[in-house]
Structure 1
């Protein structure tokens, strides 16, 4: 697993390096170049007339289902427009970007519009000045911009990152955008007596920085995602990524994570998007299709 983990992060770094320009927004070498506070009840309480344990069965509204395009990077590199057309054909109406594959923000937006897709969020290269990052995000139609990766050896460095995130988040908020942070597993490992995740939460403002919670990495770290959502109070997006019995990634519904239980216990905390992801799929389009069908059919 460590080898695969490291390789995945290197691959993500190479993809994100081409996004939105070339490093000073956060001014931190530990941050990868690359991404109104939700009110409770962000997930519609839609029912299909059935009940689970005496309660109406909720479902995820289709307009809250997205896919992280990092899942399909091998196909996008070969055929950007054709792959996005396949994604739209599956039924997706939202995507999350992880790079623009050498295209300008305007070119990507044009393709998305033509296919009936919206890129509401992105893991972007935070290596341009904040004004340019904001301008590109607006062109692309984003609501959210997410910092996808950071790793430091001391809590002091994590506190410094939190301060930089908070300042950047203010600028994004003034522009009508939200700045988020996406976790892996190391943010939950105790460092100098505390967890980096808790530092980021304690030293950023609720209106300035939200969290995109990767469910796979939280579970891999031995953390209860429900507790994180409740305690954090500002998780707006889930990366819905399944975990096989051997700890590797799995297509949604084929692994060990009980998403129905997680969703049932967290929907009231204002989740806005459920984003399908797989870091290293054998067949990316099948993975995307299985993920979409799983989320649209799930009742909880």
Structure 2
């Protein structure tokens, strides 16, 4: 389809420029260590036991310049504290500084730095100035870090592998276009990372001839579920057909919906990149009829259909705003809406006005920003999520389109922003 090809090319171009971005500052590199972690069964595997031997909670503070670290050990059926630390970046020395205390009451201090995006070394001394421990950190992925401790002669003392295990209790979804190149290269590894980061479900946009990333609907569903997430949403595209092709287009949608039912998807969305060419309300009426027909097919098969906006929907046609026309001329039982907050902001409209006027029409929000989520300061997310006159919709989908960091780092920041700053 022309729409999906153009979208894919845009994102491939953007991500090809940005995917090689390094994590350049010591502060950003240190932030990789934030989150909830558990030890693997042993250092040579990333498999995690039902009750991991160690849990570690690293909470970022001071605008991500430092973090409070609590390490707990499983003993006699419960987790007890074994170590507490404050680790932070010191701007004067350009080093990472730590101050901690262990179970034995020994207080130690350390300093070190990252030598690359993924390699971090620290050397600790006790409060008498005597050598305490040297530790090397190897971030083998954003959710997999190997720690090794050494004595003062450089002899290895222990190894521990930590796997990120952020909570999934706030039902945050991720639009997989945010990590499109990674999904094309290795979908299993990418989904594993997203599940560990704390995402609860995924939304795709790559349905093609009955497949998702080259997998059958059930294969892809099982892969998502194997990584502790659900496959709940899909963006799917098929241009408005000519009159003589109407039935064949609806047959395409019927087959597509069947594939999504097999995949366990709860909702389908579509968008429209042809609106710049529309000049009359009669054309808008054809689109409304098309969306009503698709929505009815979805409803009959147990899936919800929603229309996803960009900025073009807020242009005027014969004195009527396109988006308003669609809301008024699509059947509320067949057609819901997925509000892309960012594109509403770009178009200069206030999403609050729509959510107040049409409180029952919005199934989902796409939550993205001009940079990583929350970084631009241009969108008042707190007001949107805590407004007294409408409820947050059932499906909240994080999306990143503009990257300051490698995409996997950026989507972790998006989850953190929603989990810790917005959904408190």
The match for 1:133 among 256, 261, 265 is 256
Q: Which has the higher strand share?
A: 2
In the other structure, the counterpart of 1:186 is 312
Is residue 239 of structure 1 aligned with residue 346 of structure 2? no
Q: Larger Rg: 1 or 2?
A: 2
Say what the alpha-carbon RMSD is for the aligned residues: 2.3
Structure 1 equivalent of residue 223 of structure 2: 111
Q: What's the counterpart of residue 253 of structure 1? A: 374
Aligned to 2:178: 71
Aligned length: 243
Structure 2 contact 267–306 (Cα < 8 Å) conserved: yes
Q: Alpha-carbon deviation of 1:279?
A: 2.0
Contact 2:356/2:390 (CA < 8 Å) preserved in 1? no
Pairing 1:36-115 to 2, within 5 Å after superposition: 62-99=169-206, 100-115=212-227
Other-structure match for 2:418: 295
SS in 1 for 2:306: strand
Higher share of residues assigned helix: 1
State the alpha-carbon separation in 1 of the partners of residues 300 and 392 from structure 2. 21
The one of 204, 229, 232 equivalent to 2:355 is: 229
For the structure 1 residues 195 and 9, does the alpha-carbon distance in structure 2 shift closer, same or farther, using more than 3 Å as the test?
farther
Q: CA deviation at 1:202?
A: 0.9
Structure 1 pair 254/280, CA: closer, same or farther in 2 (3 Å)? closer
- CA distance, structure 1, for counterparts of residue 270 and residue 395 of structure 2: 16
Q: Note if contact 2:355-2:390 (Cα within 8 Å) is conserved in structure 1.
A: no
* Aligned position for 1:268: 390
Distance 1:86-1:143 versus aligned 2 partners, 3 A rule: same
Task: State the shift of 1:266 in Å.
Answer: 6.4
Spell out, residue by residue over 1:115-171, the C-alpha distance to the aligned partner (whole angstroms, 9 max, x if none): 121111110244662321121111221111001334231232122111111111111
| TM-score for the superposition, normalised by structure 1 | 0.75
TM-score (norm 2): 0.54
| Higher RCO, Cα 8 Å, sep 6+ | 1
Structure 1 equivalent of residue 298 of structure 2: 172
**Partner Cα distance (1:268, 1:74) in 2:** 36
**1:13 and 1:191, CA in 2 relative to 1: closer, same or farther beyond 3 A?**
farther
State the distance in 2 between where 1:75 and 1:292 align.
Answer: 17
Aligned: 1:285 with 2:408: yes
Instruction: Give 1:283 deviation, angstroms.
Output: 1.5
User: Which residues of 2 match residues 23-34 of structure 1 at below 5 A?
Assistant: none
Q: Which moved more, 1:133-142 or 1:203-212?
A: 133-142
2:338 match: secondary structure: strand
- Post-superposition CA distance 1:57-111 (Å, at most 9, x none): xxxx844310100010011111111111111110111111111222221221121
Structure 1 residues without counterparts, runs of 5 or longer: 1-6, 16-60, 244-249
Contact 1:145-1:178 within 8 A present in 2 as well: yes
Q: Gaps spanning 5+ residues in structure 2: where? A: 12-167, 207-211, 239-248
Offset at residue 10 of structure 1 (A): 2.3
